[in-house]
Structure 1
Amino acid sequence: MNWSIRPDKRFRLALGSFVEEYNNKVQIVSLDEETSEFIPRSIFEHPYPTTKLMWIPDTKGVFPDLLATSGDYLRVWRTSDNETRLECLLNNNKNSDFCAPLTSFDWNEVDPNLIGTSSIDTTCTIWGLETGQVIGRVNPVSGHVRTQLIAHDKEVYDIAFSRGGGGRDMFASVGADGSVRMFDLRHLEHSTIIYEDPAHHSLLRLAWNKQDPNYLATFAIDSMEVIILDVRIPCTPVARLNNHRSCVNGIAWAPHSACHICTAGDDRQALIWDIQQMPRQIEDPILAYSAEGEINQVQWSSTQPDWIAICFNNNLEILRV
C-alpha cells in the first residue's frame, strides 16, 4: 500500500493483494470528492504478491505518472485515467532462470531516477531509471544497474534512502543477520553498522524520520517493540516503543513532524507516539486506534498529513488524526 504524492493525485492509493500463488492483483483507488468515498480506478494482474509498491516521489508533477512494484522482479508501471501498463521489468540476473525475490525497495525522493532494491540473495541493487520529464511527448522508461553490493551476511529485508547528506547518496538496510547498516553511494567500499540486535533476530523493516535524518526506526521479527536509533550514537537505541501486545508489522513517520511516528501490529492497534522527550523513556502513545483485524500495513499521507491508511484482512481504512 502506498499514497500518491503528486499534487493533482493526493487522494490516491495503490494496493497489492497477498495470495500465496502466482496470480495476484494491484488496485488503484482514489477519493470521489463528491461522495467522500474511495472508489476503484484501476486494477491489473501482478505475478506473485507485491512485497512493496510505491508511487514515484514526484511532488511537482513533472515526471510521468509511474508506479513501481517489487516481487520476483522490480517492475515500473505507467498509469493513466484509463489504464495501467507495464513500462519496464528490471532484472539484474540475466544469465539464469532463477531469480532471487526482492523483499523491498525505495524510490529516492531527491533524485527520482534512483531506485534501490533489497533481496534474499544478501544484496542491494541501485537502479538508474531513464524516466524523462514530461515535455509533451511520451518516452519509454528504461533502467540500468548503477551498482550492486553484498549488503549483509544473510537475506536483506528492507532498504531506505536517507534525507541526510543531501538526500541522494545515503541509504540504510536491515536483514536476517539482525543489523542495520548504512551506506554512501559515493563510498561503497565500506558501510557503517548502526545497530545490531543483541539476540541476532532478523530485522524486518526500517524507516527514516522524514524531518530529521539523524533518526530511524526498525523492529525485529515477531517483536512487540519498535526501536528508535540515532545515527550519531551507533549501536544504542535512544528510545524503545513497547506498548504493543503482539508483533509489530509496520511503522510510518509523520511527514510533517520530526517527533511523531505511527506503529501498527497484530494486536489490531495503530499507535501514534510523541518521541520529543528522548532520551527519557517514552511510556505511552498519545493516540491509539483499534481496528477489526490484525494490521499489516500503515502509511502516513505526505500530501494530507492528517490522514493515515491502514490495512487489515481484506480491508483498507483511512484514519484522520
Structure 2
Amino acid sequence: MSTLPTAVNSAPPPGKRKEIYKYEAAWNIYSMNWSVRPDKRFRLAVGSFVEEYNNKVQIVSLDEETSDFAARSTFDHPYPTTKIMWIPDSKGVFPDLLATSGDYLRVWRAIDTETRLECLLNNNKNSDFCAPLTSFDWNEVDPNLLGTSSIDTTCTIWGLETGQVLGRVHQLVSGHVKTQLIAHDKEVYDIAFSRAGGGRDMFASVGADGSVRMFDLRHLEHSTIIYEDPQHHPLLRLAWNKQDPNYLATMAMDAMEVIILDVRVPCTPVARLNNHKACVNFISWAPHSSCHICTAADDHQALIWDIQQMPRAIEDPILAYTASGEINQVQWSTTQPDWIAIGYNNCLEILRV
C-alpha cells in the first residue's frame, strides 16, 4: 500500500504541478462538492459547520498559476448545510446552479463574485415547522429532478424548471413536488439516484431503521429492501457505483467498515472494507472506474480501495493519505478523476491520485 505525501505549501518547480493543494476557511468545513462544468475545473463549494443559526457557504477555486485557492463568493446560509451539490451539467447548457439542504432545499445561481438564491423548495406550506433535510441528490440524466431525504421518514422528488436566458433577463428557477413517499420506518439519512434502467427513475435510501431500500419512480407502490443491518444500527450514507449500477456502498453509524452490496444478491454484503481505526464518515466512488472507491474516517485517513477481487476478501487499500484531523468529507472529482477533495477541521485539501 502506498501513501500520499503530506500537505506542503511550498511552490512546485516551474512547469510541475503540486500533488496537494490546501485551503483554510474561517470555520469548520462540513459539506463540499466539486463543480462539474468544464470551464470551472478547480472550483468547489464548501459549507460551514457552526452550531448556531448563522452559517456560510463559500465558493472557492484554484488559481493554477499561483497554486493558491481563493474565495470567489461567500453567502449566508441558515443552519449548516447537510449537503451541497452543483448541478450535474458537464456540458454547461443549464444555468450555473448549486443546491443546498438544511432546513429546506435551496437552489442558488453562481454569478462571478456573487451567488443569488433562486428558489426555496418547501413542501410543508401548512406548518410553521419544518422537518430538516438530511441529504439530497441531483439526477445526472435529468438535471430537472432532485430527491431529498428527511428526518420525517419521507423522501421527496422535486421537479425543477430552469428558465432559459431571454435577452439579458434571467428567468427564475422554480420547483414543484413530483412525489413524496414514506420511505422508511424512521428517519431517512441519505438518498441517491442509480444509473440503472436509464438512470432517471431508480433511487435508493438509507435510514435509522438500518435498511437500504430501492425505489422506482414508475412504480412507487412498493420498494425493495436491498440490505438490513443485522443489529438494526442506523445506516448513514449511501453511494452508487458510477460505472456499474449493480453495486452500492453504505455504512452504519459509528462503524469502522464500509459495506459493498450487489443489488442482484440482496441482503448479503459482497465485500467489507474494514481497515479504518475509527468511525467512517464518508464514501465516494471513482467516477471513471467501477472498481475503485475512497473512504474517509475519524482516524485522519482517506483510503482508496481496489475491489475487483470481489467476492474474495479485500484485505488492504491500495493508497492511503493521512490528514491533520478527522476527515468528515471526501469528494472524487467527476471532470478530473485524478483529483480527490477531503475536508477536515477548517481545511479543504485536494489530492492528486
Residue 260 of structure 1 corresponds to which residue in structure 2? 292
Q: Which residue of 2 aligns with 1:295?
A: 327
Distance across 2 between alignment mates of 1:236 and 1:304: 33
Aligned equivalents of 2:182, 2:242: Cα separation in 1: 27
8 Å CA contact 1:132, 1:139 repeated in 2: yes
Match of 2:112 in 1: 81
Q: Paired residue for 1:147, among 175, 179, 196?
A: 179
The amino acid that maps onto 1:279 is P
2:124 maps to 1:100: no
Please tell me whether residue 114 in structure 1 is matched to residue 145 in structure 2. yes
Residue 10 of structure 1: how far off its partner (Å): 2.0
Task: Provide the residue aligned with 1:91 in structure 2.
Answer: 122
What is the identity, as a one-letter code, of the residue corresponding to 2:100?
A: T
The corresponding residue for 1:55 is 86
Q: Give the counterpart of 2:163 among 113, 124, 132.
A: 132
CA distance in 1, matches of 2:172, 2:309: 49
Which residue in 1 is equivalent to 2:220? Answer: 188
Residue in structure 2 matching 1:228, options 233, 238, 260: 260
- 8 Å Cα contact 1:52/1:104 also seen in 2: yes
Tell me the distance in 1 between the aligned counterparts of 2:204 and 2:129.
26
Deviations 1:199-222, CA, capped at 9 Å, x for gaps: 000000000000000000000000
| Separation in structure 1 between the aligned mates of residue 216 and residue 336 of structure 2, nearest angstrom | 31
CA deviation after TM superposition for structure 1 residue 132, in Å? 3.0
Determine if the alignment matches structure 1 residue 29 to structure 2 residue 60.
yes
> What CA deviation, in whole Å up to 9, does each residue of 1:265-302 have, x standing for no partner?
00000000000000000000000000000000000001
**2:73, 2:224 → 1: CA distance?**
42
Q: Which amino acid aligns with 1:79?
A: A
1:282 aligned residue:
314
Bigger relative contact order (CA 8 A; separation at least 6): 2
Task: Choose the corresponding residue for 1:215, options 247, 263, 269.
Answer: 247
Cα distance in structure 2, aligned partners of 1:32 and 1:133: 30
Q: Distance in 2 between matches of 1:263 and 1:134?
A: 40
Identity %: 88
Does the 8 Å CA contact 1:62/1:133 hold for their aligned counterparts? no
3-state DSSP class of the match of 2:170?
A: coil
Amino acid at match of 1:245: K
1:34, CA displacement in angstroms? 1.4
CA distance in 2, matches of 1:318, 1:145: 36
Question: Residue type matched to 2:302 in 1?
Answer: A
Residue 14 of structure 1 is aligned with which of 26, 41, 45?
A: 45
CA positional deviation for 1:148: 0.0
Residue 142 of structure 2 aligns with an amino acid whose one-letter code is D
Separation (CA, whole Å) in 2 of partners of 1:188 and 1:35: 51
Distance 1:192 1:21 in 2: 38
Poorly superposed stretches of 4+, deviation over 6 Å = none
- Contact 1:104 / 1:118 at 8 angstroms: preserved in 2? yes
Report the Cα offset of residue 134 of structure 1: 4.7
Q: How many residues align?
A: 321
> What code does the residue aligned with 2:129 have?
F
Unaligned ranges ≥5, structure 2: 1-31
Q: Give the letter aligned to residue 296 of structure 2.
A: A
Distance 1:297 1:62, change over 3 A: same
CA deviations on 1:40-60 (whole Å, 9 max, x unpaired) are 100000000000000000010
Contact 1:62 1:134 in 2 (8 A): no
Which whole-Å CA distance do the structure 2 matches of 1:133 and 1:108 have between them?
19
Letter aligned with residue 246 of structure 2 = N
8 Å CA contact retained: 1:63, 1:134: no
- SS across alignment from 2:185: coil
Going from structure 1 to structure 2, the CA distance change for 1:216 and 1:109 (only over 3 Å counts) comes to: same
Cα distance between partner residues in 2 of 1:289 and 1:59: 28
